[in-house]
Amino acid sequence: MNPYLDIAPEVQTALAQGQAVVALESTIISHGMPYPQNVETALRVEAEVRAHGAVPATVAIVQGRLQAGLSAAQIERLGRAGHAVTKVSRRDMGFVVAAGADGATTVAATMRIAALAGIRVFATGGIGGVHRGAEQSFDISADLQELAQTPVAVVCAGAKSILDLRLTLEYLETQGVPVVGYQTEALPAFFTRESGFKVDYRLDSAHAIAKAMHAQWALGLPGGMVVANPIPQAHAMERGTIDRAVAQALQEASAQGISGKASTPFLLARVNELTGGDSLASNIALVLNNARLACAIALAYAGLGH
């Protein structure tokens, strides 16, 4: 057991008994949505996981401790503090722990902490990736490198539509990370069900995905897997609307000199404003949808005896 890691009793018991556990990230709490929707959504996602037969483990750093599983009070703490909480990727983990500070974990940091705890399935909104203009800025999310080396399946609605999706797929291919489409051959783009790009493999059941996870890791292949789960049709947004909002948000970010890890929260918030709040409702719907699929995969994986 890592000396800096605390596993919530409910999560610890579930892991010891071979039950299904689903990791959840905390950047969405402090940086992804405004208060109080952030806290309400986090608690709602946890409830959704429990309702579908798995145990939720929301991941964060609280007072310098890596946490696999948060209390409602800890979720409230992160939600109220909002952007005052450090956004923590892999690079930042040691420093936030050493300072005894709070940290909201990105996909990369959540994967690392989940793996330390022995959790193999993680549900989030969308993964990070290669940013537009990366050929000049070299702005590539650490999420992609973490996927290349940490054995966790990440259930998401594809990569965020603010990214360069073609280069993101190329980077994942180079790093040997499979991109699986759940009941689809098209890569979803967060708010939209299609992006114009294809996934590597289409698998139509949670059991098939669990078997692929087991085979990959039994072969000694490093890294994780992207499970791309399209946003439900009823909540999907029109591609042209999102493309226009993203283009305007990117132009404003450039004009204001916003870059690095500040760019994603700014862009998502600005897209939400430009779409009249529709994208926030879609964001919540897709996170809940991903949690449901993650539960099914975690249950199937646990059923394989792991």
Catalytic residues: 25, 160
Report the greatest alpha carbon distance in the chain: 53
- CA 123/CA 126 separation, integer angstroms: 9
Half-sphere exposure of 186 (CA within 13 A, CB side): 10
CA-CA-CA-CA torsion for 206, 210, 212, 214, nearest 10 degrees?
Answer: 180
Q: What b/e string do you get for 177-211 counting C-beta neighbours within 10 Å, with b at 16 or more?
A: bbbbbbebebbbbbbbbbbebebbeebeebbbbbe
Tokens of 108: 């990369």
Q: Which residues pair with 196 in a beta bridge?
A: none
For residues 29, 33, 34, 35, the Cα torsion angle rounded to the nearest 10 degrees is -30
